[in-house]
Structure 1
Amino acid sequence: MNKVVPTYHQRVAEEKRALIVAAATALFLELGYDRTSLAKIAECSGVSRATLFKQFPSKAALFDAIVTESWSTADEEDPPPAGNVVDGLSVIGRRYAQLLGRAQMTDLFRIVIAELPRFPELAHAQFSRGKMPCFESVRSYLLAEHEAGTVRIEDADLAATQFLGMISNYVFWPALLVPDWEVSAERVAQVVDEAVRTTAARYAVNGPGASAGD
Structure 2
Amino acid sequence: MEPPAATYHQKVALEKRASILRAATGLFIELGYDKTSLARVAERAGVSTATMFKQFRTKADLFEAIVLQFWDAGSDEAVTPPPAGDPRSGLAALGARYARLLRRPGMAGLHRMVIAEAPRFPDLGRIQFDLGKQPFFELVRDYIDSEARHGLLRVADVVRATTEFLGMISNFVLWPQLLLQEWSPSDEEVDATVGSAVETFLARYADETSARPSS
User: Which amino acid is the alignment partner of residue 16 of structure 2?
Assistant: K
Partners of 1:32 and 1:115 within 8 A in 2? yes
| Range moving further from structure 2, 52-61 or 199-208 | 199-208
Cα pair 1:201 1:207 within 8 Å, conserved: no
Look up the SS of the partner of 1:39 in the other structure. helix
Question: What's the % identity of the aligned pairs?
Answer: 54
Deviations 1:187-206 (A, max 9, x none): 11100000000111111122
Aligned-pair CA distance for 1:179: 1.5
Residue from 165, 169, 183 that aligns with 1:167? 169
2:52 equivalent in structure 1: 52
Aligned residue runs from structure 1 range 32-111, under 5 A: 32-72=32-72, 75-77=75-77, 78-111=80-113
Q: Is the 8 A contact 2:28 2:110 kept in 1?
A: no
| Contiguous gaps of at least 5 residues in structure 1 | 1-5
CA–CA distance in 2 between the matches of 1:101 and 1:24? Answer: 19
May I ask how many residue pairs the two structures share in their alignment?
206
Instruction: Note if contact 1:85-1:210 (Cα within 8 Å) is conserved in structure 2.
Output: no
The one-letter amino acid of 1:195's match is A
Call closer, same or farther: CA 1:112–1:140 in 2, change over 3 Å.
Answer: same
After TM superposition, give the deviation of residue 159 of structure 1 in Å: 0.5
List alignment gaps of at least 5 residues for structure 2: 1-5
Letter in 1 for 2:118: L
Alignment TM-score, normalising by the size of structure 2: 0.90
The residue number in structure 2 matching 1:130 is: 132
Contact 2:73 2:132 survives alignment (8 Å)? no
* CA spacing shift, 1:128–1:74, aligned 2, 3 Å: closer
1:21 aligns with 2:10: no
Distance, in Å, in 2 between the alignment partners of 1:163 and 1:139 is 10
Provide the secondary structure at the position in 2 that maps to 1:7: helix
Deviations 1:44-96 (A, max 9, x none): 10111111111111000000111111111795312101101001000000011
Distance 2:13 2:137 in 1: 31
Q: TM-score, normalised by structure 1?
A: 0.91
Between the aligned partners of 1:210 and 1:147, the Cα distance in structure 2 is 19
Query: Residue 151 of structure 1 aligns to a residue in which SS?
Result: coil
CA–CA distance in structure 2, aligned partners of residues 37 and 182 of structure 1: 31
CA separation in 2, counterparts of 1:87 and 1:75?
21
Q: CA RMSD in A?
A: 1.8
Contact 1:106 1:176 in 2 (8 A): yes
1:200 to 175, 181, 202: 202
Q: Contact between 2:153 and 2:205, CA under 8 Å: does it hold in 1?
A: yes
